Amino acid sequence: MSWFEAKAEKAKIPAAKELWAVCPKCKSHLPKEEWKANNAICPRCNYHGRLSARERIAQIADEGSFKEIFREVSYSDHLDFHDATGDYKSKVEATIKKSGETESIVMGTAKIGGHDAMLGVMDFGFMGGSLGTGTGERIARACEEAIMKRLPLVIFSASGGARMHEGILSLMQMAKTSAAIGKLKDMGLPYISVLTDPTTGGVSASFAMLGDINITEPKALIGFAGRRVIENTIHQKLPDDFQSAEYLEKHGFIDKIVERKDMKAFIAKMLNYWGF
pTM value > 0.85: yes
pLDDT in tens, the chain (276 residues): 555 555 555 555 555 567 888 888 888 888 888 888 888 888 888 888 899 999 999 999 999 999 999 999 999 999 999 988 999 999 999 999 999 999 999 999 999 999 999 999 999 999 999 999 999 999 999 999 999 999 999 999 999 999 999 999 999 999 999 999 999 999 999 999 999 999 999 999 999 999 999 999 999 999 999 889 998 999 999 998 999 999 999 999 999 999 999 999 999 999 999 998
The three-state secondary structure class of 251 is: coil
Q: Give which of 183, 184, 203 is closest to 194, Cα–Cα.
A: 203
Rounded CA-CA distance 136/58 in Å is 23
Using the CB atoms, write b or e for 182-196: b if 16+ within 10 Å: eebeeeebbbbbbbb
Q: What are phi and psi of 267, to 5 degrees?
A: -65, -40
Instruction: Give the model's pLDDT for residue 124.
Output: 96
From the list 175, 194, 179, 168, the residue with the least C-alpha distance to 259 is: 194
15-16-17 Cα angle (round to 5):
90
| Helical (H) or strand (E) element with 38 | none
Domains in the chain, start-ordered, CATH in brackets?
Answer: 14-47 (no CATH), 50-273 (3.90.226.10)
Q: Answer whether the bond into residue 198 is a cis peptide, omega within 30°.
A: yes
Gap between the Cα atoms of 198 and 221, Å rounded: 5
Cα 20–23–28 angle (5° rounding)?
75
* Residue 26, H or E segment: none
> What CA–CA distance (Å, rounded) separates 52 from 127?
12
Q: Select from 68, 71, 150, 157 the least CA-distant residue to 117.
A: 150
**CA terminus-to-terminus distance, the chain:** 79
Alpha-carbon distance of 203 to 223, in angstroms, equals 9
| 3-class state of residue 139 by DSSP | helix
Q: Of 71, 104, 74, 73, which is closest to residue 89 (Cα–Cα)?
A: 74
